[in-house]
Each structure stands twice: as C-alpha cells, then as structure tokens.
Amino acid sequence: MRIDRLRLFEVSLPLVHGFETSSHRKTHLDHILVAATDADGRTGWGEIASPADPYYGSETTATAWSIALRYLVPAALGAEWDTPAQLESQWQRVRGHEFAKAGFSAAAWDLHARDLGVSLATALGGTRTEVVAGVSLGIEPGIDALLAQVQRQTDAGYGRVKLKIAPGWDLEPVRAVRSAHPDLDLHVDANGAYPDDDAAAAVFRALDDERLTMIEQPFAPRDFVAHARLQQALSTPICLDESVVDLGDLRTMLALDAGRVLNIKVSRMGGLTVAREAHDLAADAGIPVWCGGMHEFGVGRAANVALSAMPNFVLPSDVSGSDKYFARDVVVPAIVAHAGRVSVPTAPGIGHEVDEEWVRHNTSRTFDTAAA
Ligand code: OSB
Ligand code: MG
C-alpha cells in the first residue's frame, strides 16, 4: 500500500449546544480532516480532533496543522506499508502531537480496512454489532438548566450520563441529578481541575456516596501519585483520561493502582494502533475501558464506534449520535443512536461516506499534495 495524495481540510462546525468544561466554554469546533488516497484512487479518512485552544492538552488546531504539513505529510506520502502500524513507524520519532498523529493513523486504518474489504471494526478486531453510548454534559448556567439537559438526553434514550464538574460545581449538581434519577448510570469528569488538597478530598469523599460509576481525572494529568492516594481512599473507581497518553502511562497507572477504569481516546493516544494496544493491556490487567470523545465530527466519531466494538469496551462510550452535537454532520449517513445504542457499520472502512461538498462549504483552509 502507498499513499500517493494527501489532502487536509480545516473544517469549522457550530455545536448545537455550547459546552463548558472546568477550563473553558466552546460553541464551535475547528477540526482537521485528513484524506489519504492510494495508488488505486481509494481514499481513507481521518480526523484531527484537537481543540482550538491548549486547555485539554497542549495541542491546538494550529499546532496540529503545522506538524501535519511539516512532518506527517512528508512521512506518510509515498511510503510503502502493509499495516497501519508500519506506516505509523514513519513518524515514530516525532514526539508528542498525538492528536495530529491520530488523524493520520485513522486515515491509514480506514484505507487499510477498505483495501481488505472489511469494516474498520472488523479490521481492529471488534466483535460487537452495536455499542452502548453515553452523553457527556457540560457545566450549565444553573441546576435547573442541567436537570433539563439530563432529562432531554434520558428522554432521547441514553442510559449513561457524564457530568463535567469543577471546584464550586460538584456536590450540588451531582446530588440534584442523582435525586431526580436514582438509577441512572452517572459519572463525573473534572478534567484535572482539582488541586490535591483537603478540600478536594472532602468533595470526593462526599461524591463517593452518590453511587457514581467512576470519577474521571480529578487531578492534573501527571499526578499519578495523587490519583493513587485518592483511589485507596474511595470505593468509587477512578478513571484516567488526560493522564494516559501512551502505554507507559498506562503501565504507571496499573503499577500504582492510580485508577481502575481507563478512558481510551484515539486522539489522546496518537491513533488507533496505540488505542488497540491500550485496550489489550487493560484487558490483561482486568481494567474495563470505554471510548472517550473530543466532540468528533462523523469521521472521528465513526472510528470511535469501530474501536468501541472491541471486547473490553464494556462501559458506555462517548459516542452519542451526530444530532447531539451538529445540525448537519460531515458524513452520510449521520451517526444515529437508538435507545442509547449505535450500531457498528458493516460496510468497508469507517462505514460512512464523507459529504465532501459539506466539508468544502465549512472549510477555512485546505492543503493538497497534488496542488503543492
Ligand atoms: O474529557 O472527555 C473529555 C470534550 C472536550 C474535552 C474533553 C472532554 C470532552 C468530552 C466530550 O467529554 C465527549 C464527547 O465527545 O461526547
Ligand atoms: Mg475526560
């Protein structure tokens, strides 16, 4: 296999409902779509889902664009490969920049699966025919607005809800949602917003009584020791997200018992090959995983659905339907959830076609090796 042409599209789409985390609020997304075309004219698609600003991680849309043009396009173009892992080895010496790499990895996997004539899920080793989806709800202006969002999503059929929390927005909203929905599969995500101090410990001890499925990333990404200490003090599992960027981080988490659940994000880990390895390592260690999201457009979302078909994705994933995020997605058909479940496509590759006209309509800049 050889990629003879690469195109990049920086695409901006508004969110149907603004989203606020512990660090910031966003109303639209600027993601980069990667189209990789082989010698036979077949195209694979991937998505660089970096946030525009460096608040989730250190990357931005602008750094991803720059790294893609300067390092990843030259590494991928013209290389001979049989498996996506072989292609990824071309950019192995580039440190960091996982989101940028993930877009190229996903395009290679889509192309690889299309070449084999199988679905991406099958190519990855996925066995599920449908995956259970959950919704992630941002910080709302008040408790009533949050309760309205939870009601809206549970009415839409979702059985798992994750709430963003931050110091000052934690016990009160969680208790309100819990008392309105006693049986809801509920968890919280702090995006690393808490300092490792006594006040935070008191909040987490109180949250331990709310029957949460997990508490996601309470402390700063590199603070494995703080997570380990908290995990020993709680019965609620801690889930790591931002802390685990590579397999070494996952081994640290396991060695220190710094978390008992893993959120696998294709973007955060630099692509589908590493995501799959993390799945296997976690499975061997008895750690359940789920697939986290970065508000992906349909291209990245479809890859997340395919990954979630793997056996150890036993917890609901952040792969809700396109309509939770966008009035019109960039893929056809859009991704749909029925009763909180998304079916895993059986068509080759990601199983959705890219609506190139809609992509172009929303594109702010493009790059094409055929035009360069
Ligand atoms: O921590 O999972 C996170 C969005 C932006 C930054 C961080 C996170 C999120 C989400 C999105 O929760 C979930 C989704 O894509 O549905
Ligand atoms: Mg998270």
CATH of domain 3-117+356-368: 3.30.390.10
Query: What CATH number matches the domain at 123-343, 3.20.20.70, 3.30.360.10, 3.40.50.300, 3.20.20.120?
Result: 3.20.20.120
Å from CA of 51 to ligand 2 middle: 13
201-245 pLDDT, tens digit each: 999 999 999 999 999 999 999 999 999 999 999 999 999 999 999
The bound ligand whose nearest atom lies closest to the alpha carbon of 161 is 1
Q: How confident is the model at residue 128 (pLDDT cuts 50, 70, 90)?
A: very high
Determine which of 14-28, 170-184, 353-367 has the lowest per-residue pLDDT on average.
14-28
101 is a catalytic site residue: no
Residue ranges in the chain assigned as alpha helix (H): 61-67, 73-76, 84-88, 98-116, 120-124, 143-155, 171-180, 198-207, 224-233, 247-256, 272-284, 298-307, 356-361
Å from CA of 57 to ligand 2 middle: 11
> Which structure tokens are listed for 303?
């890859």
According to the model, what pLDDT value does residue 372 have? 73
- Asked whether the beta carbons of 76 and 94 are under 8 A apart, the reply is no
Q: How far, in Å, CA of 213 to CA of 120, rounded? A: 29
| Beta carbon of 273 within 6 Å of any ligand 1 atom | no
| Beta carbon of 47 within 6 Å of any ligand 1 atom | no
Q: How far, in Å, CA of 21 to CA of 25, rounded? A: 6
Mutate to test the pocket of ligand 1, among 20, 136, 215, 217 (most ligand atoms within 8 A of CB): 136
Q: How far, in Å, CA of 307 to CA of 123, rounded? A: 10
Q: What is the DSSP letter of 324?
A: G
164 is a catalytic site residue: yes
Q: Work out which ligand 1 atom sits closest to the CA atom of 301.
A: 15
Question: Which three-class secondary structure state does DSSP give residue 126?
Answer: coil
| Beta carbon of 318 within 6 Å of any ligand 1 atom | yes
According to the model, what pLDDT value does residue 110 have? 98
Mutate to test the pocket of ligand 1, among 99, 132, 295 (most ligand atoms within 8 A of CB): 295
Å from CA of 93 to ligand 2 middle: 27
| Beta carbon of 10 within 6 Å of any ligand 1 atom | no
Tell me where in the chain the CATH 3.30.390.10 domain(s) lie. 3-117+356-368
Stretch 137-145: mean pLDDT: 97
pLDDT of 141 over the 80 cut: yes
Q: Work out which ligand 1 atom sits closest to the CA atom of 242.
A: 1
Q: What is the DSSP letter of 90?
A: G
Tell me where in the chain the CATH 3.20.20.120 domain(s) lie. 123-343
pTM: 0.97
According to the model, what pLDDT value does residue 171 have? 98
272-310 pLDDT, tens digit each: 999 999 999 999 999 999 999 999 999 999 999 999 999
| Beta carbon of 316 within 6 Å of any ligand 1 atom | no
CA distances from 189 to 143, 186, 194, 332 (A): 17, 10, 11, 31
Q: Work out which ligand 1 atom sits closest to the CA atom of 296.
A: 15
Q: Catalytic pick from 101, 162, 164, 324?
A: 164
| Beta carbon of 293 within 6 Å of any ligand 1 atom | yes
| Beta carbon of 59 within 6 Å of any ligand 1 atom | no
Q: Catalytic pick from 26, 101, 162, 265?
A: 265
Å from CA of 365 to ligand 2 middle: 29
pLDDT of 84 over the 90 cut: yes
pLDDT of 350 over the 80 cut: yes
